[in-house]
Homo-oligomer: A and B are copies of this chain.
Amino acid sequence: MGRRGLAIGIDIGGTKVAAGVVDEEGRILSEARRSTPGTDPRAVERVIVELVEELGSGRRIRSVGIGAAGWMDLDGGTVLFSPHLAWRNEPLRANLQQLLRRPVLLANDADAAAWAEWRFGAGQGESRLVCITLGTGIGGAMVMDGRVERGRFGVAGEFGHQVIMPGGHRCECGNRGCWEQYASGNALGREARILASSNSPMAQDLLAAVGGRAETITGAIVTELALAGDTASRELIEEVGEWLGLGLANLAAALDPGLFVIGGGLCSAGDLLVEPARKAFARNLTGRGFRPAAGIQLAHLGPNAGLIGAADLSRVSSRVRS
């Protein structure tokens, strides 16, 4: 596969499947969406086929890239594990190549988003890029020397599951104290619900904004309220930003990237999140003052990064380190 021609990228999330035709410059020429049809692999395959037929009609599509939360084998052919879908050791690519009659690549969604930011977004030209996608959890990926670094078995980049607080909050991965329990949309929502359920006067505006129903608060709601000026919400985001910065300092100690790019839904908080992160990073980086330090930038491509990256990776898959 060369770099030329159009590719379709498909981003399979827990609730929706987004697809787009992506050109060589990372532009989306047309888009389509479906609800994620439950967790049955066959049903997901049917939706993928539908989307490719719809978008590919009248166009020459060279390849199809599929991004999803989860672990793909190094070869990009088999889903080892996907948290939101019932895929376990699923040879998705073989099935799909037969159905689509085109080369298909499976990619971890965070890897795909990082690739897109490196090729077309905030990470262009960086030889050691670390991308963090802050959504319900933390997605992580590295692009090193122009290749996605996926580790020995294809499952590198799970930065969100580094234990940063032994004995801390229980994580969906089963462990305790994972970074994503402190620096993610879910963490923000949880802390806001706890605050709103308390009798703190700090919580009154927050609670009023959700009609007194503390249990309905999500990270997205807190972000909205913070952007509208709510003090408690701003403090909650600041706290998440501080945890983010501490974790980035840990990653910088280990990986020494030139740049961190921060994407994902939580980034709509902008500087309310990133400024506290930068401060905490600067305060926690080991050897500060005696070393150059990575920058921290917001992602450029927004929620389409995953499908753009999946499409582009399918075009240049020979460049993915394996």
The listed residue (B144, B164, B175) touching A166 by CB distance below 8 A is B164
A71 contacts B151, CB within 8 Å? Answer: no
Is A255 close to B, CB under 8 A?
yes
Residue of B whose beta carbon sits closest to that of A172: B286
CA distance A295 to B190 in the complex (A): 36
The listed residue (B140, B158, B246) touching A163 by CB distance below 8 A is B246
Assuming the contacts A140-B254, A151-B128, A175-B286, asked whether A291 and B162 have C-beta atoms less than 8 A apart, the reply is: no
Is A265 close to B, CB under 8 A?
no
The listed residue (B88, B156, B250, B286) touching A173 by CB distance below 8 A is B286
B164 contacts A255, CB within 8 Å? Answer: no
Residues of B within 8 A of A173 (CB): 286-287
The listed residue (B80, B157, B253, B292) touching A290 by CB distance below 8 A is B80
Residues of B within 8 A of A71 (CB): 287, 290-291
Assuming the contacts A164-B166, A165-B166, A253-B162, asked whether A145 and B321 have C-beta atoms less than 8 A apart, the reply is: yes
A159 contacts B246, CB within 8 Å? Answer: no
This protein's copies in its complex:
2
B287 contacts A254, CB within 8 Å? Answer: no
Q: For the complex formed, measure the closest distance between the CB of A82 and the CB atoms of chain B, giving whole angstroms.
A: 10
CA distance A154 to B255 in the complex (A): 10
The listed residue (B156, B165, B294) touching A254 by CB distance below 8 A is B156
Residues of B within 8 A of A128 (CB): 151-152
The listed residue (B80, B246, B257, B287) touching A81 by CB distance below 8 A is B287
CA distance A164 to B246 in the complex (A): 10
A163 contacts B250, CB within 8 Å? Answer: yes
Residues of B within 8 A of A164 (CB): 163-164, 166
The listed residue (B155, B174, B178, B291) touching A153 by CB distance below 8 A is B291
Give how many A residues have a beta carbon under 8 Å from the other chain's beta carbons.
50
Residues of B within 8 A of A292 (CB): 152-153, 155
The listed residue (B127, B174, B286) touching A178 by CB distance below 8 A is B286
In chain A, residues 163-205, which have Cβ atoms closer than 8 Å to a Cβ of chain B?
163-166, 171, 173-175, 178
B162 contacts A250, CB within 8 Å? Answer: yes
Assuming the contacts A145-B321, A161-B253, asked whether A152 and B294 have C-beta atoms less than 8 A apart, the reply is: yes
The listed residue (B156, B178, B290) touching A256 by CB distance below 8 A is B156
The listed residue (B171, B174, B175, B258) touching A152 by CB distance below 8 A is B258
Residues of B within 8 A of A258 (CB): 152-153
Interface string of A121-143 (1 = CB under 8 A from B): 00000111000000000001000
Other than the given A80-B290, A140-B254, A151-B255, 11 more pairs (CB < 8 A) read A128-B151, A150-B256, A152-B294, A153-B258, A155-B256, A157-B254, A159-B254, A162-B253, A165-B166, A174-B286, A251-B254
Q: List 7 A-B contacts (CB under 8 A).
A: A80-B290, A81-B290, A126-B152, A144-B149, A155-B292, A162-B162, A162-B253
